[in-house]
Structure 1
Amino acid sequence: MTMTWEESGWEGLAPRAGRCRLPGWDCTVGLVAGEGSALLIDAGSSLREGARLRTEARRLLGGARVTHLALTHPHFDHVFGAAAFAGVEVFGAVGLDGVLTHDREELRADAVRNGLDPGEAAEAADILVPPRHHVSGEWTLDLGGGLQVLLANVGPGHTAHDLAVLVPGSPEVVFCGDLVEESGEPQAGPDAVPSHWPAALDRLLDLGGEGALYVPGHGAVVDAAFVRAQRGTLARRFGVS
C-alpha cells in the first residue's frame, strides 16, 4: 500500500485491512490488501458507486487492482456496484448466484423503493454479476505475502445467503455483512431467516473470538460484547434460543 487508510479517507482496521462507509445507506465496504492480490468486501449500491470504489482502491493499492470480491448477501446496497469490477474473482454463499440471476426485478424494485434513482437501479440490475465461487462452508483465500483470509458461510440469518470474512492478525477483523448492524436495529425483511439468526451470530463470535473487531454492514465497528448483546436481542425478538 502506498498511502495510509486515513490519507485516503478510509478507516484503518489493521495494517492491511480497512473499510469505508458509503453515503446514503451507510453501507460498509471493506478492502484487504495482500501481496499482488486484493479483496474487496461488498461493492456498493450502483455502478457509479462501484466505479468510485474501484478508483479509490487502486489509489490505496498503489496502482494495483482489486482481484477478488466477496459479496456478503444479496441486497442491492451491497451488490449493485459489482459490475464495475470486471474480471475479478467473485465469491458468495451458496445460492447467492440464484438470487442475483432470477430475482433481478425484485432487487431493482427494492432499490427504487429505498430511494435509488430508477435509471441507476435498472442499469445495475441488468448487468448484475453473480459469484463464480460458491462458499458452502469455509474457504481460505491466499492473498499473498502470508495473508490468508477466511470466507465463511455463516447463514442463514439476515438472508438465506450470509457470508462473513475473517482477516487474521492483531486484532483479527470480522466483516459481518448485515448480520450485525450498529447504526440501527437489524433489518429482517421477507428474505430473512429469523430462527437461524442467533446461531449465525454465534458462528461469528466463534470465528473472531473475544478480541476481534466486528465490522457491521451499517454503522461503527463493534466488539464481541456488542455482537453478543445483539444476539440476545434478536433471540428475544424472534422467540428463539
Structure 2
Amino acid sequence: MRSQDYGDILAGKPKRQIPRLPAEPGLVVEDPASGFCGAVVRIEQGNVVLEDRHGRHRVFPMTDAGFLVDGAPVTLVRPAAAPRKPVMSASGSVKVDNVTARVARASRIWVEGIHDAELVERVWGHDLRVEGIVVEPLDGIDELAARVRRFGPGPQRRLGVLVDHLVDGSKETRIVAGVTHPEVLILGHPYVDIWQAVKPAAVGIPAWPVIPRGESWKDGVCARLGWGDPADGWRRVRAGVTGFRDLETPLISSVERLIDFVGHFG
C-alpha cells in the first residue's frame, strides 16, 4: 500500500505577514504597549512622532509590528520620497539643469532695440541658451529688407524678426510687407514700444499713459509717471518683469513662435 504524503505534520503554521505601512503624516496608529493613539506628525532619527487628539506629542521607535491600525499589527516604514517637481524657467518652460549653452546656430532672432533684446533675454534666456539662439537688436527696422538680403537666409540659416507696433496701416506693417522669404518669419505685437507689452500691474501703475502722436513715447511716459529719464524708466520696467506672466499675450505668442521657427533648423 502506497503511503500518502501529508506534509510535515510537525511544522508550525506559516508565519503571518505583518503589513508594512508608510508613516504618512495624518495616519492614525496606536502604540499597543502604552495605549497611546495618535496621528503621524513626522519621522525623526528612525522614530515616529505621534499627536493625540489633545495635541500631545510622543515619540516611538519604528519597530517591526510595533503599532496597531484598526486593531491589527503593522510595521511603520519611512514613506518614499516624493518626486521632485520640475523647476520652471521664467518663460514657463521646464528648466534644464546643468546644461551648458549650446554653440550658437547660424540662425538669428532680430528685435528692434536694446530694450527688446534685454526683455527677451530676461524671460526666454534659458530657452535661448538651450537652443543656441542669438538675439540681436537692430536699432529700428527702416532698412529691414536690405539687412535680410545681406543676412542671406536659407534652410540652415533661418531668421526671425520681432517688430513693435505691427498693426494695420502702420509704418512697420508697410516695411514688413517688403520682405518675403520662406526662411524668414516676421511677427510682432500691437504696442507702440516694448515697454507697453509689460503689464501695467507689473510696474505698479494702473495703465500706460496715452502719449500723443509726434511726442517721444518713452519721454512722455517717464514725464507723466515721474520716472525721470528713459534710462530710469527702463530700470523700473526691467525690474518689474520676473517671468512671462508679467507680459502681454501678443508678445509672448510672437516670441514663442519665433523661437520655435528659428530653432527648428540650423
TM-score by length of 1: 0.24
Structure with max Cα Rg:
2
**More helix per residue:** 1
TM-score by length of 2: 0.22
